[in-house]
Amino acid sequence: MTLNEFNLLYAVKKNGMQSCRNLSSLSGTSLGYVSETLKEFNEKGYVDDKGITEKGIEALAPYKVKNAVIMAAGMSSRFVPLSLEKPKGLLIVKNEVLIERQIEQLREAGIKEIVVVLGYKKEAFFYLEDKYDVKIIINPEFNTKNNIETLYLAQKYIGNTYICSSDDYFEENVFEEYVYQSYYAAIHVYEKTNEYYMIPDAKGNVAQVKKSGVEGSVMLGHVYWDNKFSEAFIKLINEHHDIGDYDANLWEDLFADNVKKLPPMYIKEYPDDVIFEFDSLEDLRKFDAYYVDNTHSKIMKNISKVMECKESDILDFMPIKEGLTNTSFVFEVFGKKYVYRHPGDGTEEIISRKREKSALELAKSIEVDPTFIYMDDNEGWKISSFVEGIRMPDYASFEDSKRVIAVMRQLHDKNLMVDWEFRPWEEALKIEELIRAKGEIAASDFDDLKAKVEKCYNATVGDGVEMRFCHCDTYCPNWMLTEDKTILIDWEYAGNADPGCDTGAYIMDAMYDVEESTKFIKEYCGADYNDTQLFHHLAYVAIVSYYWFVWALYREACGAVMGESLHNWYVMAKRYANYLVDKI
């Protein structure tokens, strides 16, 4: 069936038999074409005086939409702070839940089978099963792989399928019960953007995809895959899934790199007032004025209270890459920038926020961390000043190391004390119990490593190194270096501790060898340097590394993905424990 034949027959299916003039307008074909083709359709038994016949519906069958897959697994980090509290697809826009509006539009178009792929805060979507009878798939790797993993998991459902995002808003219903061929929805822009531009061939199909441009058709909204495209693209997804080279990519990247190998995909342009995507709270505020003064966000209310401002005064949100423990973002109030820290799930089991707040106040009083403004010691959120022009120390630069060491000595030499302690060996034992309560520890040499680290720890007891108020998490991202300042931030693990906790954490993350560590420890100890001090601080590299290794095992047991950090800390604990055990 040609495109024009499809358009005309589908127009009859949707509207019943009309005048030739009406069908010409509805199908986008000429009056003469309608007149001639209707005669052919009558002869074939596709239509009669009332409209389409059963035989006509059979002729349309290859073009019937089978279902829709809605991708709802991602966190939408660009949509902070709202996305920290609920998935973006569950936002209420103009009095409707985004994903519910889309499901209802699909159902109105006759598409009953809807598959929703979940990941971030997945349980918040579970009610959709009962309310709309959707099929739910869980993507457990949503925070380490991009949406190509979502489609990999949903592949058995994909044929003549709409591929949708849960956070799109369609001003009018864009879905159809029958679709002629694969297409990607688009709008035409006339300014430079960082969107994906689709370059058409002579037939209006995608010939090339560029990842930025000026004027042209940019990808926006839903996409439709017909059976032929689905078969080819799913094969491509599986080929690359085994390799993993597109794990961090959008499925559009794989499409862009293989356009010429795939069946055609049409560029379907919509008016610019039909499809909306909200990349930030500012975008949403422009679309729905309700969000200007009340976002229904607890985080926004927190900021308003501390900064003594209205929600409409809080602007220019920018996510900071998620840390190992928390997620943070930058915001602006009255022309000045600040940072909001949002605590990670599960951290309440291993971090006392009341102690952290006391540590922050103490660190500010001695100007080691002048950025601190406010912290809620029950919920763990924090607001700090934003420092312009910062960089992290370079582990390869001994000049940077000396700046870091000077602040460590400034902190330790104050002889400050608090009413709690951080003991990494004992804390590791407690965290191990939490892990074992969730299941067995998979590392086969865990007990052997633990025994060696314990020997290192026992060898430091009573050697004369006294506890001090320490930061205890001195790895590179917690330092901010400017031209004239060296600032140490994030005091979650601070307390009375062995000074080796601070030297050891920095060395651990730098993954220094023993020779580099010795140079670092000499600089730290200064005139107090001796063999006992060297052994002590090297032992704490093993102890601290072991603590963070066990901590990472716990975080992964809570659902976080620690990546190579877990392995690095294991390597450093093993390297230094093995080196020192022979010297005890």
- Region 306-313: mean pLDDT is 95
Pairing, β 135-138 against β 183-189: unpaired
Q: Once rounded to an integer, what is the mean pLDDT over residues 190-216?
A: 94
Three-state SS sequence of 258-303: CHHHCCCCEEEECCCCCEEECCCHHHHHHHCCHHHHCCCCHHHHHH
pLDDT for 348 equals 65
Contact indicator for 209, 199 with CB cutoff of 8 Å: yes
What is the number of structural domains in the chain?
A: 4
Query: Is the pLDDT at 34 greater than 90, yes or no?
Result: yes
Domain boundary among 334, 363, 386: 386
Statement to judge: residues 380 and 397 lie in one domain = no
CATH code: domain of residue 326: 3.30.200.20
Tell me, yes or no, whether 318 and 458 share the same domain.
no
Residue 185 lies in a domain: yes
DSSP summary character for residue 86: S
Q: How confident is the model at residue 2 (pLDDT cuts 50, 70, 90)?
A: very high
Q: Are residues 90 and 154 in the same domain?
A: yes
- Asked whether residue 531 carries a pLDDT value surpassing 60, the answer given is yes
Assess if residue 130 is contained within a domain: yes
CATH of the domain at 256: 3.90.550.10
Query: At residue 324, does pLDDT exceed 60?
Result: no
| Residue 543 located in a structural domain | yes
Residue 50 or 344, more confident: 50
Residue 351, pLDDT above cutoff 90: no
Residue 136 in any domain: the answer is yes
**The pLDDT value given to residue 257:** 96
Q: What is the pLDDT of residue 350?
A: 64
Q: Is the pLDDT of residue 46 over 80?
A: yes
Locus of tokens 């191990």: 432
Q: 321 vs 473, which has greater pLDDT?
A: 473
In a domain, 282, yes or no: no
pLDDT(346) > 80: no
pLDDT, position 557: 87
Range of the domain at 16: 3-63
Q: Are residues 92 and 55 in the same domain?
A: no
- Smallest Cα–Cα separation from 316: which of 288, 275, 285? 285
Q: Is residue 255 part of a domain?
A: yes
With a cut of 90, say whether residue 319 has pLDDT above it: no
Q: Are residues 130 and 201 in the same domain?
A: yes
Same domain, 206 and 100: yes
Residue 284 lies in a domain: no
* Domain C-terminal end among 17, 34, 63: 63
The pLDDT of residue 560: 77
Residue 116, pLDDT > 80, answer yes
Q: Which amino acid is at 40?
A: E
Q: What is the CATH number of the domain that holds 412?
A: 3.90.1200.10
Mean pLDDT, rounded, for 441-466: 94
Sign for the pseudo-dihedral over CA of 117, 119, 123, 124: negative
Q: What is the pLDDT of residue 562?
A: 85
> In this predicted model, which residue has the larger pLDDT, 531 or 558?
531
In a domain, 290, yes or no: no
| Domain boundary, last residue among 48, 63, 78 | 63
**Percentage, residues of the chain above pLDDT 90:** 86
Distance CA 46, CA 72 (A): 40
User: Average pLDDT in the 373-402 region?
Assistant: 95
103 & 46 share domain: no
**Average pLDDT rounded to a whole number, residues 22-26:** 95
Find out whether 526 and 406 touch, Cβ atoms under 8 Å.
no
Residues 573 and 502 in one domain: yes
Q: Are 380 and 401 members of one domain?
A: no
Residue 321 has a pLDDT of 63
pLDDT of residue 584: 85
Structure tokens, 173: 């219903």
The whole-number pLDDT of residue 503 equals 98
3-state helix, strand, coil in the chain (%, to 5): 45, 20, 35
Report strand pairing: 161-165 vs 67-72: parallel
Q: Do 369 and 460 fall within a single domain?
A: no
Can you give the pLDDT at residue 443? 84
For the residues 25-30, what does the mean pLDDT come to? Answer: 95
- Considering the domain architecture, whether residues 74 and 209 belong to the same structural domain is answered as yes
Q: What is the pLDDT of residues 92-110, one digit of tens each?
A: 999 999 999 999 999 999 9
Contact criterion met (CB below 8 Å) for 278 and 167: yes
* 455-506 pLDDT per residue, tens: 999 999 999 999 999 999 999 999 999 999 999 999 998 999 999 999 999 9
> Are 372 and 364 contacting, i.e. CB atoms less than 8 angstroms apart?
yes
User: Do 43 and 87 have their domain in common?
Assistant: no
Q: At 559, is the pLDDT very low, low, confident or very high (cuts 50, 70, 90)?
A: confident
